[in-house]
Structure formats: C-alpha cells, structure tokens
Structure 1
C-alpha cells in the first residue's frame, strides 16, 4: 500500500506541472473535471455521452439501476472510458453487507461482521476480493471502507457498515480492508469524515449535528481518519461539528477540510464530497451554491448526483465561480490546478480498465467463510431439531433505506426455514401496528426475523417476546427485543446459509459483537 501511495504522490507532483502548463483550459472544462455524476439506465445513450463530452466530465458513480449482469456492466464501463478518456474515474459503493451494487459478485460480509470476527488478515483478504470483483467490471474507485465508529445505538444509517465502536481496532480492521483493495489496483475512498457514527439523524434526510468538545472528537470520531491520512481519497460528511466549525457542515467547512485535514494533518489525497443531492445539503443550501462552497472549503471533487437539471445547475454555478475567481482566492488558478492534479494522479495510480475475473470461485468461498466467522449470539439461543414446528414473524416487504437500495423480503427467510422445518409465516407491514397477542399459543417456536435497519418502536419493545430473534441486518435491534438472538450483520445468500446451518446445529457462532454499548449489556432472555 505504501509503495502505491508513494507513486501516487510522485504522480501528483508531475501532474501539477502538466496541469499548470495545459493551455486554454476553460472554466467550464475545469468545472466538468471537478464533478462526479450519476445517470439513469443500463446503457450509455447518445444524449448522456454527449453531455459527458460537452462538459468534460471524467467521473461517474454507478448504482444498481445501472446494472444487469457482468457482460452488460463491463460494456457500460468500457463505453464510459471511451468517452471520458484515460483519466476516467468510475466509482461504486461496494462496501459489503447490505451496501453492495453489483449483487452477482461474491457477496462480502458487512464491516461489522468482520469486526465480530476480529481478524486483520481476513479483513485484508475480503478487501482484496472486493477489489478483484469490481475491477473486473471496469471500476477503479470504491467508496469504502467506512471509518465511522458506530457508538450511537440510535444511528439510523451506519449500523453494520461500521467495523465497530473501538477506535483503535475498528481503524486497524478498516485499513487492513483498504490495504487489500489497494494491492489489487482499486482506489479506496474512506468515509464519512469527520465521522457519522454518533448521529441520530440520517444526512440523506436532514442535517445532523455532533456536538462534542474537540478532545472527545480527537479520541473517537477523528482518530480513524487521522490514521488514514495515506488513503487515496476521503469523503466528507454533511454534518455540523460545532467544536470544529459552529456554522458550516464539514462538506462546506474550510476550517475542517482545509485547516484541519490539509494543514493540521497534512492530508494529500483526494477529498470528495458525499452526494450533494442529499437533503442535508440540497434542501438547505441549493446544489449550485453548495458545490461552490464545497470547492472553496477545500474539496477536490463534488459528487453531483441528483439529475440532469441539478447537474446543469452545479456546472453553471461552478463555471461562474471559477470565471470570477481572483488570484489569491480559494478558487484561484493555482488552487484549481492543484485539485485537478490530485484527481489526475488518482486516475493514473489506479487506472480504469477491466480485467478478467480469474478468482471468482475462490472469492466466493472466502466470502462464505467470512460470513460464518462473524456469526454472533446474544443470550443463549439454541438450534432447532429437524421438522420442528416454527412460526416465522417478519416484515412482508422490507424496503431498502436509500443507502442499501433493497431489503430482505419475508418470503426469502421463509424459504430458508421451510427447507428444514414445519413452517408457518406471519407477516406485518408496520411493526408498531402489529398485535403480538394475536399469535396463537399452540407450542410452535416463534422466530422473529429482523430484516430492516430501522430500530423497533415502543410497542414491539414492550410486548414482542419471540423464542428466537434472528437479527439479519442491524445488530442494535437486539437491544429492542427481549429474546436470545443470532446476529448475522447482513442477509446476503452466504449469510443466510450460515444462519440455516447454525439453526441446524452444524455451524458455530464465535463472533463477538464489536460494540461496547451492546456487548456491555446483560441480554434479556
């Protein structure tokens, strides 16, 4: 990893000279080079291709809506490279667990599952396998790993995406994951600086605040990011930290992105914003104005996801700001040249070109084993005998939460259990409206399968009493339900296979939950 980043630093110095001497770069061209966009569809249509060319856009982020299978996606990324050129940056959120986009690749365990297994070598191997898979499809930039410390049980968006709550061990595991990825030629973007772990508001929906003194931030939230200064890229969070900047969220804060990250810590990698279409930013500042503020604060690239209209608004605002920038201002020629050079160096160090995927079978086996290593129990849950009479309670159609894109339907859990047990399925649409007393007392073993990230409300906490709780997504849900539990940290196929084998008594659960707020509790059984 160190050698690759040393090369990137040397390339950045070279690109500074090349970029500074490039004649005739217009403000519009620079603006296009400083944004990342998304677009709908599974092919690069003529209109989108022309939009990329006309605006000199070199970076896109792809989501499930852009993906069908390996052949389709490989062609799409190849077409994008042909249009965007040799310094193309094609990004993806392939974190693991519920946050994956290319779902047919070997399914990586969630970060917290790796925290539960607590094995640096395994974390590195998983990061490397993720990189091999997405690089074979033409990606060169992965927005992972998550460095947030999930020390707030009410956090609605991080949960199992975090490696844990202990700053030292979570950092070691995350950076091992990153080292594996970099060794396989895929740049990582650690996130969400300065830390999204201790929030109770999702920045996709509103603007959170983490109101702690600086020494507390240094000890927890900031520690992983300070240790990751050699990461190729870092993503800013749309969160206000009054101890660092009482007025601006980190994405728009020069005190945070420049004074802290660049000057105090001497970070030299790429700084990219989180999606500027998120309500924390777009709903308060407007996408165009916010894009200008983010670059002035010190960001190198603005993630202008949204739609074509908001992307046009962003380009227009940046073009106007760059055209009007005076020497010595935060957006002057020297500053923009440095930003472009860092982005060029990233693309050069991690070139965008598809490779053959020669290790898919081995990576499938690795991921399956990794999911099994993370299985965790709380209380004293017991396996079930073959043919046992089981009543499964689960949310009928568990929706995604915007980050994960999809949840786990009750039918999938039922199919897993029906292979071995006499199963009755009971579903609910809203946990708070479900009356537990309607379940018959007929001797069936009642299993609650939690298949969403959302915590349970007061009614479920007070009255639901299953015999066994399968926490298949958010481990903090074990704090809500008074029952012995099996925690998988995710619901990918190999995770469900591991759960099924544990229920059959053929799989151990040796993980240890890496959350102080949960591990310290005496579980109610």
Structure 2
C-alpha cells in the first residue's frame, strides 16, 4: 500500500514539465489540487489534466476551489453566485443549480473534485475568511442550501467537499495565519455549527474538508484536522460518515507552525483523515517531506497499516464514483448558464434605503479603493478602475476617484471639482473599510449619494447610506448593478 496515495499535492505552473511528470510518477500521489496559477486556456488546462493522469494513473483525483464569488480558479466560464447571494434568496433549487454551474465549468477539463461549498455558519460577520462564502447565519438555511449545492455538483460528476468541519464561522482568526480557538461546548456546537455537517453526512456527500481550528471543549490538544475525537469519534463513529475526509491545506500556519516538515500529515491520517492536502506553492520538496513523515509514522507504529489501507480504499472508491471523464460544455448550455447567473444577480440585488435615480447623461463621481488587498483563499478582488469600466458605457460622464483606504486627498479634490455631481461610494474591501472611508460616508450624507456594497454586505449597515448590496463583484453582479442604477 503506497502511503503517497493519501497525499493531494499542488504544482508550480500551467504545464506539467517532463521532470515534474517523472516526479509524480515516482511517488504516485493520490491527486492534485489546481490553483489559479495552473488554470489558463481550456485547451492548455485540459492537457495539464491529461498529463497528470498519465503520470499518476487515471484514478487520480484532481481538485480545485470553484466556490463562486471571490473564490474561483477558472474564470472563463459562467461564475456561480456567492453562497451569500443564495442565502439571501433562500432558494434551494437555485443553490442546486449553482452547484451544477460550478461543476460544469471544471468537469469539462476533467477535474473531478471541488473543494466546495462552505457549510460554515456565518456566526461572526467579522470572520476574516468566511463572509460571502457562507450561506448565512441560520444553520438550517446553511444546511439546506449547502447540501443542495453539493448535490448539484455531484449530479454533474464532480465530488463536492463541504467545509470547514466542524465550523469556521465564529472566529476572527484567519487559520492561514494562526491557530483559531473556538471555545464552545458540545451543546452549542450541536445547535449551530454542526447542523449543516450532519445534514451533509445524512445526504452521503462525497467528501468533507477539515478546519485547522482548536475546539478546546471537545479536544484540548489538537485542532480539528488532527483530532481523533472529532474525526474518528464524532464524524466516523457517532455520525457514521464513510465518505472521504480531506484536510485543509497543511501549509496554513495554524498547522504548519506547530507541526513543521509534514509532521501533521501523519497525525491527520491517524485522526481519521483520508487525504492530506500538501501545498508547496511551487516547492515540490514539501510533498516529499509530508510523505517522509507518514512513512516514519508507519515504521514507528504511530500510524497503522490498517488505517492507511482504509484511507486509500475510500479514495479509490471516490475515484470510481467520480471518474473525471471530461464532459463537453456545449455553447447552448453555457449561454443558458450565463443567463441564469444574470437572473440570480438581478434577483439577489438588495436595496437598503432610497437610491437616487441617475440620469445616464449626468456627471457621476465614483469613489472606490484602487485595489483591495487579498488574503486567505481569495484569488482576486475588484479594482476601482475595473468597476469604472463596467459603469462607463451606461454613465459616460463618470469620473473615478481612487484611494488606498487611508489617503483620500484625490477623492476630496474630485468632490470639490464637481460639487453638484451624483456620488457612488463603492466598498470593494472584504475587511474593514477603515476610519477614513467611514468618515467620508458621514460627510456625504448631505449629498445625492448611493453606497455600492460590492463584497461585504455588512458595509451597508456600517456606513448608513442608501445602498445597493450586490453580494459579489463578478460581471453578472456588475451588470445587474448598472441596470438598477440606470432604471
């Protein structure tokens, strides 16, 4: 039994070089996780997937994060709406179709595993890594919509991976940077965080991804990814889950700082995980170190051969259930999916207060962040110029004032130049907009202003201006926003 089959690894770039192909074939890893750096044109990415399967075998699991919203790896296909938008609509069938849309865009290339959707209940809206990735703060809504989304994906031949078990929605610590602690009792977790995951188990969904979070009232020593109490005792024994358990990326500092050089991989497998996600971001040697740690644990009887065989068996079963045979994405289907995403964007556009009507021929001042920062799982954000480009065809007299979140001198100058202009204050930041923008919103209350909340819906309540909440910043949301402003 090759212990490398339990490792899901990443690759440096968009092509598999001969050297990298020999590396994969030598070790025989269980699969690959593709990131935005690996996904380019459809033809090139499909060739990459074929080359990976040639190296690892055609039972390899090839994964990505195609969640929708701000976490997308393939961008040249219809974008599934944010879970936040789907939660706002509370439409189970829309959630199911969102899962299908996401899956159609990746099964075309031969990917058979999507690390989505998030079943985290958005208990704390200031959580730095969940936000619009969550279907909401109501655990029942999250359960119903999340399970439907995952089922839609699996109907299309792409295994879902609901995450982040047992819940990442009530912490303000980003597990990419440090170890979060959620100090809740079992009863509290059962009432909220665990309910969506129990629904996922009952629905027999293909896989569950773990969270690098310490729950001291359940396990005082190990974060969930490494906790036998949570993975074996709760998820396997008490709930009866027999699908694949995959870890979140082991390079995240919540685990990597505490268990360097792959040591956490063996602990995760012992705890009950079947697949360990090893991410080197270009460094292939980290995968060898993870494998070495697993092999040492086997020799030391810290990880049993039976546990390893069980893990590999589950992965092989998943590969048979989701073989990753590419399915053509027909032009008619793509057009239908584009129309559907536009309709969802229009339906989920949320109005707060009285929005001023804009004449397409009048002067409009758009205020936006030059380029909001990223972090955690986010691959891209919306720049001020990109937003202006989306609005200018409808509002040709639009003038853009960008800022960095602190220095608003350019904004002040443009507002002085056009004292009678309508104002659009856009917030495209995932995190806090900062005191300067908050003060600006106060100062604009006497002028004809609309707040465009394009990422974090909580900004609408924070800035206390008439607002349009788009629940996302992808093209469909921008089209819906433009149409509403010009109505």
- Deviates further, 347-356 or 281-290: 281-290
Higher mean C-alpha deviation, range 215-224 or range 397-406: 397-406
How much has 1:458 moved relative to structure 2? 3.2
Give the conservation status (yes or no) of the 8 Å contact 1:163–1:174.
Answer: yes
Corresponding position: 1:109 with 2:109: no
Task: Please give the per-residue CA displacement for 1:265-321, whole angstroms capped at 9, x wherever unaligned.
Answer: 111111110000011111222141111111111111110012222212111111111
**In the alignment, is the contact (CA less than 8 A) between 1:96 and 1:109 conserved in 2?**
yes
2:400 pairs with one of 409, 425, 450? 425
Aligned mates of 2:134, 2:150 — CA distance in 1: 14
TM-score by length of 1: 0.87
Residues 247-258 of structure 1 mapped to structure 2, 5 A cutoff: 247-258=221-232
Consecutive unaligned residues of structure 1, counting only runs of 5 or more, are: 1-24, 506-525
Deviations 1:43-86 (A, max 9, x none): 11111111111111121000110111111111111111111112
CA-CA distance at 1:123 after TM superposition: 1.2
Change (3 A) 1:282 1:500: same
The 5 A counterparts of 1:120-131 are 120-131=92-103
Q: 1:309 is matched with which residue?
A: 285
Structure 2 partner of 1:145? 117
Aligned to 2:336: 362
1:339 aligns with 2:279: no
Q: Tell me which residue corresponds to 1:391.
A: 365
2:486 paired residue number: 504
Deviates more, 1:37-46 or 1:371-380: 371-380
What is the 5 A alignment of 1:421-460? 421=395, 422-429=397-404, 431-434=405-408, 439-440=415-416, 442-460=419-437
Q: Any idea what SS the aligned residue of 2:463 has?
A: coil
Q: Kindly indicate whether the alpha-carbon contact (under 8 Å) linking 1:52 and 1:58 is maintained by their aligned counterparts in 2.
A: no
- Specify the SS of the correspondent of 2:163: strand
In the alignment, the residues of structure 2 paired with residue 287 and residue 298 of structure 1 have an alpha-carbon distance, to the nearest angstrom, of 20
Q: Which residue number in structure 1 is paired with residue 475 of structure 2?
A: 493
Q: Which residue of 1 aligns with 2:466?
A: 484
For the residue of structure 1 that corresponds to 2:257, the secondary structure is helix
Q: Report the equivalent of 1:19.
A: none
The answer on whether the counterparts of 2:5 and 2:31 sit within 8 Å (CA) in structure 1 is yes
Structure 1: how far apart are the matches of 2:357 and 2:214? 46
Residue 437 of structure 1, CA deviation:
5.5
Aligned to 1:508: none
Counterpart of 1:522 in structure 2 is none
Query: Are 1:277 and 1:287, in contact at CA under 8 Å, matched by a contact in 2?
Result: no
**SS of residue paired to 1:424:** strand
8 Å contact kept, 2:121–2:138: yes
**In structure 1, how many angstroms separate the alpha carbons of the residues matched to 2:15 and 2:24?**
14
- Among 125, 134, 156, the alignment partner of 1:162 is 134
Say if 2:153 and 2:159, in contact at 8 Å, map to a contact too.
yes
- SS of the aligned residue for 1:285 comes to coil
Q: Distance in 1 between matches of 2:461 and 2:285?
A: 43
Q: Which residue of 2 is the match for residue 243 of structure 1?
A: 217
Contact in 1 for aligned 2:274/2:315 (Cα 8 Å): yes
Question: Take 1:70 and 1:399, find their aligned partners in 2: how far apart are those partners?
Answer: 28
Residue in 2 that maps onto 1:323: 299
Work out the number of aligned pairs and report it.
472
Work out which of the residue numbers 419, 431, 438 in structure 2 matches 1:461.
Answer: 438
Matches of 1:497 and 1:214, distance apart in 2? 45
Query: Residue 151 of structure 2 contacts residue 205 of structure 2 at CA under 8 Å; is this kept in 1?
Result: no
What is the TM-score when the length of structure 2 is the normalising length?
Answer: 0.94
Give the direction of change, closer, same or farther, for the CA distance of 1:80–1:462 in structure 2 (3 Å limit).
same
Q: Which residue of 2 aligns with 1:191?
A: 163
1:463 Cα shift? 4.2
3-state SS of the aligned residue for 2:452? strand
Q: Deviations over 1:425-476 (max 9, x none)?
A: 11112x1343675542712122111122112223433443341111111112
1:405 positional shift:
1.1
The runs of at least 4 consecutive aligned structure 1 residues that moved more than 4 Å come to 435-438
| Rounded Cα–Cα distance in structure 2 between residues aligned with 1:353 and 1:50 | 23
Q: Which string of whole-angstrom CA distances, capped at 9 and with x for unpartnered residues, describes residues 153-204 of structure 1?
A: 2111111010111111121011111111111111000000011111111111
- Counterparts of 1:209 and 1:170 in 2: how far apart (Å)? 22
Residue 157 of structure 2 contacts residue 324 of structure 2 at CA under 8 Å; is this kept in 1? Answer: no
RMSD after superposition: 1.5
Unaligned runs of 5+ in 2: none
> What secondary structure does 2:88 align onto?
helix
